[in-house]
Amino acid sequence: MPRRGAAAFVQCVALGCATHHAPPVPAGPFLAIEQRTAPLPASSAPNAAAVSLAFGALPPETLGRVHRHLAEATTRAVRRALPALFLDDEPAPSSYADVLPDIPALTAAANLLGSPWNAEGISVALVPRCAPNASTCIPLFAPEEPADALGRRARALAWAFGHAALLRAPGDARARLLEELRRAALRSSGTIALVFDADHGTLDDAELGGLEADARRALAHWPADAPGQAWLGALAAAPGAWRLPFALGPDELFVVPRLSALARLRDFDAELARAGNSERLGSAAR
């Protein structure tokens, strides 16, 4: 052993090897936060990519179910608009939820694709690594909630990422966990919006084609000023391929809560635990 190397070894044993004791470098992605004075356009608008992303994180049969649901709702709307042509007294769709029952999933998907998220005085972007000159940059999957108000506000804007859970479950356990979590996501009173088992994928062409056709039919028959027209337009243009804006490992699941459940994150955690065993790699804002 060279003298310099031996000295370094002794020093290392005596004082501790700095490289072994350095805190681990947080893995990406990160939220880069900028404080702005000028107003910025908001994001997370209804869009076709978000529709496909949402269907990529719901049970495969969801596409067909929404297709049938939309077709039935549109038929009811047509019959209601033209009562003279129909003898039966079809009830009108009673709410937006009748047309788009998976709106919490669509809402979450739109937020996932919404970077940069802007609000009064702040802009937050999803980045793979922090720029050397970044003023504030926080790891997305931090073990602890950021203590400062700026970090909390950033996570609130990027809420779908900011409150999601990253789980690891190997092998068969992962398949069972995925099935249970996606079943939980369909419960109307549940807290789960989306469950991803991959960071990209493609949707069933035939089902998607049928859904797009019915969305176009709905657009033609629903009032132009009806709420949700933008989502119907997005459904009509949904691409077959979807992609998360970050890489997911092979044993990982990425679970996003509903916007309406952000004050009930304990319930969200409980739903995750009930679904099965997994190692929690990260979660924000706990």
Count of positions (residues) in the chain: 286
Q: How far is CA 29 from CA 104, 239, 280, in A?
A: 24, 25, 16
173 binds other proteins (CB under 8 A): no
Decide if residue 281 touches other proteins (CB under 8 A): no
CB under 8 A: which stretch of 6-14, 106-114, 176-184, 241-249 binds other proteins? 106-114
Which residue, 153 or 183, is less far from other proteins as judged by CB? 153
270 lies in the site for other proteins, by CB under 8 A = no
258 near other proteins (CB under 8 A) = yes
Residue 237 interacting with other proteins (CB under 8 A)? no
* Nearer of residues 248 and 259 to other proteins, judged by Cβ: 259
Binding piece for other proteins, criterion CB under 8 A, among 21-29, 167-175, 223-231, 273-281: 223-231
User: Is residue 31 a contact point for other proteins (CB under 8 A)?
Assistant: no
Question: Using the rule CB under 8 A, is 45 a contact of other proteins?
Answer: yes
Tell whether residue 221 is a contact of other proteins (CB under 8 A): no
In angstroms, what CA-CA distances link 78 with 94, 173, 237?
14, 46, 22
Q: How far apart are CA 202 and CA 53, in angstroms?
A: 9
Pairing state between β 136-139 and 30-35: antiparallel
Which of 37, 149, 223, 224 contacts other proteins by CB under 8 A? 149
Does 48 engage in binding with other proteins (CB under 8 A)?
Answer: no
The alpha helices in the chain, defined as continuous H runs, are 3-15, 18-21, 48-56, 62-81, 96-99, 103-112, 149-157, 159-162, 171-185, 205-221, 229-236, 265-275
For 147, list phi and psi in degrees, rounded to 5. -75, -30
Residue 104 Cβ vs other proteins, minimum distance, rounded to whole Å:
6
Question: Which residue carries 């909630």 as its tokens?
Answer: 145
3 state DSSP class of 116 = coil
Largest CA distance in the chain: 100
Q: Please tell me the count of residues contacting other proteins according to CB under 8 A.
A: 40
Q: By the 8 A CB rule, do 56 and 242 touch?
A: yes
- Comparing CB distances to other proteins, the nearer of 73 and 184 is 73
Exactly one of 43, 74, 123, 283 binds other proteins (CB under 8 A); that residue is: 43
Q: Which residues bind other proteins (CB under 8 A)?
A: 41-46, 92-98, 103-104, 107, 110, 114, 118-120, 149, 152-153, 156-157, 159, 227-231, 258-265
